[in-house]
Structure 1
Amino acid sequence: MSVTRSSCICRWLASIGVLIVIVGLAHTAWPFLFFPRQQLDITLTPPLSASQNPHPVAGIAERDITPPIGMPKFGYSAWAKAADGFRTRLKARAFYLHAPGQTPMAIVQLDLGTGSLPLHHRVAERIAQKTDVPAHALSLLVTHTHSGPGQYLGSDFYNVFGSNKPGFDPALFAFLSKQIADAVIEAYSSRQEARFAVGQSDIRGYTRNRSLAAWANNFPGRQLQDDDSIMAVNPTMTLLRIDQRQGDTFVPAGALSLYSIHGTAIPPFTRPYHADVWHWISGVLEDELTTTAPGFIHGAAQATHADNNPAWHEGQRGDLEAQRIGVALGEHAVQLFHSLAGQLTRELDTAVASRQLNVLEQIDTQRFGLCERAIVGASVAGAANGDEVFPISYLPFLKEDWPRRFFTDNCQGVKQWMLSKLQLLLPKERFPHQALFQIIRVNELVLVPLPWEVTLESGNRLRSAIADTLPVGTPWKVEVSSLANGYFGYAATPEEYQRQYYEGGHTLYGPHTLDFLIGQSVHLSQDMQQSGDILDIPRKQTFSLLSHQYFPERKQAATPPAGLQWQGQPELQQGEPASGPYWRITLLATPAERLALTSLHLGIHCQGQPVATDDGAALQLQWQRQGTAQDEYEIRWYADTEETHTGCKFAIAATRSGPTTLSPAIP
């Protein structure tokens, strides 16, 4: 009986394995066989002449980058769902900095899943006509939310497999590049004399290491402890505070912060756009200063997060947990921001070095063991801890900690290859291969943006190596920012790679990827110390990408959505345990393909006064169904149920400055 049962299980597992291979082959092949190619030609021209300022200046601005309904989403790959609306808006927050006699720079924080090299270059191309920021002094940092759009990346591999639908979307790319560029241009235009302060402090308890056994492999003989999952994280929050002159005084204008936490508190299979925990990390500080510093902007971006997940409570992952964790981190940002009030200085000393490398070509400096082509590990299909999908995540070869035991003498070592040698049918040029390395210095802050997801220990080694290149005598604060300006998968340490957890399987260029990142970053930092700013980016570049447009063609895009009409009465719903109760009402409005979410404005009015807007997380727009002339939407208000809301009304305006239409009152 036991033999028969065992044989059945083996046949069942074998059948599933064959099915996965067939589906994988079909999913891999058809975009490469049938999608047209979109060619992006980018020319990086010199910007305007640097503005002449007697004092250091800064400008800060933001733009809404929430795409239309129906777009594929990046981060959870095939497990993602196309967007049906938004729970929080996605933002681009731009920080312009310029000290007299130094290179003007712009650092942009984006509520996106990852950076993109062509997106970086297109934004640089756009802003050159209206700002003095050169391409090498622009950096795009991201939050790595898994509830934002995909289809704008610089490689076919991630445009096809990073989202729930394949292909590069030229219209989405144009939308994002314009919105981001407009934020930088406004930041440049709003520049004022400024004061600056940089600080760091630690907070634990809201992140955990999701791959403990792989992390522990860095320390031979070490026994895992009960609190290791909470302790084996990067707890440091780094914050740059900027105050601008207003009349005879300086007032808080903005802050850029970095912290290490995966944007995955919102789980797979959810539909709305969502900035995840980052909405609250940014928003709590902004709300704190609403009264004393109207228009204050806080952009929070990734540090070294690759194996650091949000510490959600078991079985409660979702909106409420994202809020709990994000608010706690946001309150920590408030404390850190206020602690810097006495450290503000008029001094601004900056430098920036940028070098673009094609890892498929001969590199003048050493490769440090980097493999000559990318290979995807089988454990990537098994997914990361916390995102397992039955039965795929538990199958032999696909599950974590299943390294290759034989034939390990190739460059990829112990990695189990996804689809084995069939992967070689995908040309190496279809994988990410153009990498932008940067070192950015702002006073004692040294920022190292990299297009890899960097694990905790990889980040520790990177920071230490960069710190060793810096002049002694300054209390340098070095931080690495993952996924900046592009996406190359993960960077695990060689020791972590040996265990082939998700992070090791997703380290595309082999076990010495971190050695390569350290070597190239150190080389770039040393060049910057010796020669000053480094501009090593090709002036003209072409990207050829498999394309498919999901972004809707708005035939009446110039016309504000008309015919907004509330239907029925507001109703109280209990909602899901992970998101909580809410008031809902139906809205009839412009069809989704013509509804520009960036111009629409939702709110709640109580006793004739606005009490909530869709800049927060209290209001959600959700597409329901297509109608003859109008589509049906549901608007939700996640209100405090302990308060009385009788008489409150939903409000909507087709544009931010347009007339408001009020709903029937809450009974």
Structure 2
Amino acid sequence: MGVPEAPRKAPASGFRTIVTCFTLVSLFIFGAYALGTPADSHDRRAYTFAQQHFGHRASSSSSSASSARGDKYLIGVGKADITGPVVEINFAGYANLDQKGTGLRQRLFSRAFIIGDKSNPNDRFVYIVIDAQSGDTAVRYGVLDGVAALGSEYSLYGQQNIALTGTHSHSGPGAWFNYLLPQVTSFGYDKQSYQAIVDGVVLSIKRAHESLQEGYIDVGTTKVPDGAINRSRWAYLHNPEEERARYDAETDTTLTLIRFQRASDSKNIGVLSWYPVHGTSMLGNNTHASGDNKGVAAWMLEEDMKNDKNTAEGFVAGFSQANVGDTTPNVGGAWCDDGSGQQCSLENSTCADGKSQSCHGRGPFFEALDLGVKSCFEMGRRQYAGAKSILDSLDSSGTAVSGTTVKSFHFYNDMRYFNFTLPNGQQAQTCPAALGYSFAAGTSDWPGAFDFTQGDSGKPSASPVWQVVSGLLREPNEQQKKCQEPKPILLDVGEIDTPYAWTPNLVDVQMLRVGQLVMIISPSEATTMSGRRWREAVAKEATSFVKDPVVVLGGPANSYSHYLATPEEYDVQRYEGASTLFGRHELDAYINLTLSNMHYLHPDATDHPAQGTLAPDNRGKMLSFITGVVADGNPPSKGFGTTLKQPPTAAEVGAVVNATFQGANPRNNLRQEDTFVAVETQGSDGKWSRYKDDNDWFVVYSWRRTNFVLGYSEVDVSWETQEGHAQPGTYRFKYYGDAKPLIGKIKQFEGTSNSFTLS
């Protein structure tokens, strides 16, 4: 594919039209993306870190050889930093124009898991989990280029066997997407944000490859009943009653986990899990980057395992997304923040005024009014607890993955008027991508900005402004209107290619298999019932070549293709149905495309499907209205790194300890695989050593501009000391920065605070 061209600045010709489109769509769609034994996860208290995680050492992870070991595979795990520009870039997920980064709560990572056939090393795949909104076409192309550049040893990895999934966090830097629509609220593409993800993913694959060794894989499940609720019950309830009666909850409560255990000493090197819950614990007005609840869960488990005797150094914990579409971590339900004390309406998530703007989901600690921080930690803890319970009991209640088969396939399918046959023999068709009116309503996780509601009819009275905006972009033709029925089309995005494609029409179709474990890689956010139907269909087909298949669904992956509702949910046209791009039969088409190609997963399969027409690579076309760092300045008497506000000389554990430094823009150096700030502790010999860095959930880095003309800025370091998480002692803060002069090279500097004691 070659090296992509630099992103384009908007040309003078057509500039006004492009700016108009960006401005109008930005103003009116932000919020629209909002986009075993049961684990002991019922307790609503916010436990201290040590009590929750390190206080039960009697329950170490399993390591003894299982009485029925499975087959050996090549296994490898790798982790690398993908933290991008954490300030001045719009976050990806909520599409909220005001949600520009101002700092970092937790570093973002790529976690890669390689599984291969030890007797046929060419049969292998790599499953990647990134702390980001989703997989993406441009990022995947960049990863493919980067892996190829590593040399011939890495030629085993390519289109067929690289699966790029996102945790669906809504709290990370954006501006890296391949298609124009998600770039609108970020004001285009940012090369630094994009490259941070690509470089980190490639490095995680490299590390996983370098760690390859023979080992075993085991699978287990548990219930996490309070890890999510359904945010679109009205749509869910339109699925057939007899189908709903087969399940005990309105979301999937099963957490499935596979353990990677090396054969040489039976030590665990990593786990990969699947559980569906939106990455929307951190609210749409949070501006500190984090991996949201799945980032919390991964951090907790990786920290926990550092002191486990049965765990190898460098243990990697991947918390992958599943059929996430209609789930929410805001388990307190959706309530009207208008003083009425009423719940939002079931049918369209509105309040007494008939609008959705006051309707917000509530996490378990919503009353903390902390932008979702405490609730996020708790929802991550619940997933961590479920994963840990499986890990502790795998040898007694888990199932060994067996059968030497390791297979994968990938190809692109054009969804524009794709014709296929339904299981009942009827003909069906999908459509060019389009978004309905309820897309603009957002969800109770973060409602849209204007007077749209979920289940919007699309009548002119719904929003006269949108009638104008929609018409400016494109008026769908009659064929498209009929194909998308009953969706009232707001944005006919699949038929807009100016200045480049707005959304995908060519979707990734991908599946992976190891032994009896089959992985569906979904480009779309499947709703609860969509995921159930898809997994069930795949499991039924898989029984033709494997006994007792275990089927999981991971995504949103490879190229973000919005939502995947059932036909019945689509008919209701709440947010998820309105965001199901390819029409009423999208789910049926996805099932058809996977089932008809599962012969590539057969043990005797030796070939792969043709890739088909490749998805467009827009890296050389992307527009950018994002300005770079011009220069950093500092007052004459305050050099970079000067401590402007010292921490108190003494504090008690439980306090928040702060310091302020003369700063510089962190976009000058992302400090990947490093840190912006650190807490150092003083030993008995008087020497200082690092105690915590900015990957710690409780160490927060904040940046703010104090003088736009002169380029002054300040950095706050906050340590939220927690009982059990912070020990009595003597500490100090370190700040590491990089200043850009108006002329010359960027220079590193550091700052050191006074010491303080914790008691």
Q: Determine if the alignment matches structure 1 residue 625 to structure 2 residue 705.
A: yes
Distance change >3 Å, CA 214–CA 524, structure 1 → 2: same
Distance 1:487 1:194 in 2: 33
Counterpart residue identity of residue 321, structure 1: S
Give the corresponding residue for 1:300: 319
Give the corresponding residue for 2:288: 272
Counterpart residue identity of residue 381, structure 1: A
Shift of 1:616: 2.1
Distance change >3 Å, CA 145–CA 533, structure 1 → 2: farther
1:265-664 alignment to 2 at 5 Å?
A: 265-291=281-307, 292=309, 293=311, 294-310=313-329, 311=331, 312-313=363-364, 314-316=366-368, 318-341=372-395, 348-360=404-416, 369-389=428-448, 392=450, 395=451, 398-403=452-457, 410-418=482-490, 429-471=501-543, 474-529=547-602, 531-532=605-606, 534-537=608-611, 542-544=616-618, 545-548=621-624, 550=626, 552=628, 563-571=640-648, 582-598=656-672, 599-608=674-683, 610-626=690-706, 631-640=713-722, 647-652=730-735, 662-664=752-754
Distance 2:695 2:594 in 1: 38
Distance 1:455 1:646 in 2: 49
Is this contact kept in 2: 1:252–1:296, CA < 8 A?
Answer: yes
Q: Determine if the alignment matches structure 1 residue 107 to structure 2 residue 130.
A: no
Shift of 1:601: 4.7
Distance 1:552 1:433 in 2: 32
Give the corresponding residue for 1:238: 256
Is this contact kept in 1: 2:663–2:715, CA < 8 A?
Answer: yes
Distance 1:194 1:425 in 2: 49
Give the corresponding residue for 1:118: 138
Distance change >3 Å, CA 146–CA 551, structure 1 → 2: farther
Q: Deviation string for 1:410-469 (max 9, x for gaps)?
A: 1211223226x8997776943211211111012222110111010000001100111111
Is this contact kept in 2: 1:171–1:551, CA < 8 A?
Answer: no
Counterpart residue identity of residue 282, structure 1: A
Q: Deviation string for 1:622-661 (max 9, x for gaps)?
A: 1022565763111111112697856322234569xx9986
Distance 1:155 1:61 in 2: 29
Shift of 1:171: 3.8
Distance 2:719 2:427 in 1: 54
Distance 1:603 1:546 in 2: 36
Is this contact kept in 2: 1:612–1:618, CA < 8 A?
Answer: no
Moved more, 522-531 or 300-309: 522-531
Distance change >3 Å, CA 305–CA 152, structure 1 → 2: same
Distance change >3 Å, CA 458–CA 119, structure 1 → 2: same
Is this contact kept in 1: 2:410–2:611, CA < 8 A?
Answer: yes
Distance change >3 Å, CA 381–CA 565, structure 1 → 2: same
Distance 1:158 1:24 in 2: 16
Shift of 1:269: 1.6
Shift of 1:260: 0.2
Aligned partner of residue 478 in structure 1, secondary structure: strand
Distance 1:143 1:551 in 2: 28
Distance change >3 Å, CA 526–CA 339, structure 1 → 2: same
Shift of 1:583: 1.6
Distance 1:514 1:222 in 2: 16
Shift of 1:279: 1.7
Is this contact kept in 2: 1:234–1:305, CA < 8 A?
Answer: no
Is this contact kept in 2: 1:104–1:134, CA < 8 A?
Answer: no
Distance 2:723 2:387 in 1: 28
Q: Deviation string for 1:60-107 (max 9, x for gaps)?
A: 111111112222211111355111111111101111222221413211
Is this contact kept in 2: 1:171–1:549, CA < 8 A?
Answer: no
Counterpart residue identity of residue 23, structure 2: H
Moved more, 638-647 or 92-101: 638-647
Counterpart residue identity of residue 299, structure 2: G
Distance 2:665 2:294 in 1: 30
Shift of 1:359: 2.3
Moved more, 563-572 or 277-286: 563-572
Is there any run of 5+ residues in structure 1 with no aligned partner, and where?
Answer: 1-22, 32-53, 557-561, 575-579
Distance change >3 Å, CA 332–CA 222, structure 1 → 2: closer
The alignment's C-alpha RMSD in Å is 3.7
Shift of 1:361: 7.3
Aligned partner of residue 231 in structure 1, secondary structure: coil
Is this contact kept in 2: 1:286–1:297, CA < 8 A?
Answer: yes
Is this contact kept in 1: 2:228–2:277, CA < 8 A?
Answer: yes
Distance 2:282 2:627 in 1: 23
Distance 2:615 2:497 in 1: 23
Distance 1:253 1:26 in 2: 46
Is this contact kept in 1: 2:75–2:114, CA < 8 A?
Answer: yes
Is this contact kept in 2: 1:136–1:353, CA < 8 A?
Answer: yes
Distance 1:56 1:145 in 2: 31
Q: 1:259 aligns with which of 275, 283, 299?
A: 275
Give the corresponding residue for 1:194: 215
Shift of 1:346: 8.4
Distance change >3 Å, CA 355–CA 478, structure 1 → 2: same
Counterpart residue identity of residue 468, structure 1: K
Is this contact kept in 2: 1:196–1:347, CA < 8 A?
Answer: no
Aligned length: 596
Give the corresponding residue for 2:347: none
Q: 2:94 aligns with which of 63, 71, 76?
A: 76
1:121-140 alignment to 2 at 5 Å?
A: 121-130=141-150, 131=154, 132-140=156-164
Is this contact kept in 2: 1:109–1:143, CA < 8 A?
Answer: yes
Shift of 1:221: 9.2
Give the corresponding residue for 2:174: 150
Q: Deviation string for 1:111-143 (max 9, x for gaps)?
A: 010111221122122212432323211111110
Q: Deviation string for 1:515-561 (max 9, x for gaps)?
A: 111111111224433735524325977523432164847999xxxxx
Give the corresponding residue for 2:30: none
Moved more, 637-646 or 253-262: 637-646
Distance 1:475 1:189 in 2: 32
Distance 2:559 2:671 in 1: 26
Distance 1:95 1:527 in 2: 21
Give the corresponding residue for 2:82: 65
Distance 1:458 1:346 in 2: 28
Distance change >3 Å, CA 26–CA 59, structure 1 → 2: closer
Distance 2:522 2:257 in 1: 18
Shift of 1:28: 4.7
Shift of 1:568: 2.5
Aligned partner of residue 453 in structure 2, secondary structure: coil
Shift of 1:566: 2.9
Distance change >3 Å, CA 624–CA 511, structure 1 → 2: same
